[in-house]
Amino acid sequence: MSLTEDQLISALQKGDEHAFKWLVDTYQHMVYNTILGIVQHPQEAEDVAQEVFVQVYQSIAGFLGKSKLSTWLYRIAITKALDWERHKKRKKRFGNLLFWSTNTTDAIENCADFEHPGWQLNNKEMGIALFKAIQQLPVNQKIAFVLHYTEELSYKDIAEIMAVSIAAVEGYLHRAKQQLKTALSTYQQ
Amino acid sequence: MTDKTQSSIRETEIFWETMPHIQRATMPPYFYTRLQAKLAKSTQKQNSVTNQLWQQMIQPKMAAFIFTFFITIQMLIFANLQPTATLSAKSNRPTLEAFAEEYNFTFSSYNYTKK
């Protein structure tokens, strides 16, 4: 099954199951990788990806087609991932107070040493340090870096997704790269 | 842009060019099956919440309560108009100036020293 974007959107808006399956099959890795870069936990990233597609299914009727479908999907994925992160931080804050909630601390500890599945095996420590440093970046820098580094998107595409100018993306990426370079300088041979 | 800034940018770019590239992670298998289950659950939940709310709304007791509540609110609004009229009447009471005028009294002319 191969559809043009307009045909796909039209079929989705009519509630076509096959079109939805095609959408999921086509975009699942893109959505998953974006979320994984932000959330840094494979299981949680899958849960968030599920939420993204549920939202897509429920709100496709309201999609006006002003932007590309992939841009819209990226925006939903980023929003959901950031919401999840905020929720996690809130849980952590209260988890410190409510010592009986053991599940919350488990999830947080698991994220401490995140190993990206796509990272080269011969430099594990550097990969862990990189994603730990990404987690410390300000939100805009983090989004721009994840989209550029893991998704290999162009500055123009990133600017469209983030709804900012290309110059702003350049600024975010430069600052992120500088900050990460400082964090990783000890691992560089 | 100064030379220092330019060299810093160049340094950073060189650093990132030598960094290993990351490969895209693949979604765990059977994602669509799990997604369908979640979607069904979500739709069911949404429907049940909407249905419950609607069913409650059209129950005679609930409808009567909403009607009574609406009437009470309306009555309260009308009842509150009355005190507004009294308030305006109260605002007409003699001020300090009127008092001073009536009794030919000024604070500046009053002798505060103990007699």
Minimum distance, in Å, between the CA of residue A96 and any CA atom of chain B: 31
d(CA A171, CA A177): 10
- The residue-averaged pLDDT of B40-45 equals 84
Which of B4, B8, B12, B45 to mutate to probe the A interface, most A CBs <10 Å? B12
Separation in Å, CA B77 to CA A63, A159, B74, B83 = 43, 52, 5, 11
Contact (Cβ atoms closer than 8 angstroms) between residue B22 and residue A150: yes
- Please count the residues of chain A: 189
Residue B87 has pLDDT above 70, yes or no: no
Q: Which residue of B has its CA nearest to A57?
A: B39
- Provide the CATH number for the domain formed by A1-112 in this structure: 1.10.1740.10
Domain of residue B68 covers: 41-79
Structural domain contains residue B75: yes
* Percent residues over pLDDT 70 in chain A: 87
Q: Which residues of A touch B16 (CB under 8 A)?
A: 177, 181
Structural domain contains residue B73: yes
Give ipTM to 2 decimals: 0.76
pTM of the model: 0.70
DSSP assigned state of A62: G
For chain B, what is the domain count? 1
d(CA B33, CA A24): 11
- Provide the CATH number for the domain formed by A121-189 in this structure: 1.10.10.10
Q: Which residues of B touch A25 (CB under 8 A)?
A: 32
Residues of chain A with CATH 1.10.10.10: 121-189
b/e A23-58 (16+ beta carbons within 10 angstroms → b): bbebbbbbbbbbbbbbbbbbebbbbbbbbbbbbbbe
pLDDT tens-digit series, residues A7-54: 889 999 998 999 999 999 999 999 999 999 999 999 999 999 999 999
Q: Which residues of A touch B26 (CB under 8 A)?
A: 29, 32, 117
Which DSSP string do the residues of A122-180 spell out, in sequence order?
A: GGHHHHHHHHHHHHHS-HHHHHHHHHHHTS---HHHHHHHHTS-HHHHHHHHHHHHHHH
Structural domain contains residue B24: no
Residues B34, A174: C-beta atoms closer than 8 Å: no
Range from A63-67, A112-116, B59-63, B100-104 that averages highest in pLDDT: A63-67
Q: In chain A, helix, strand, coil percent, each to 5?
A: 80, 0, 20
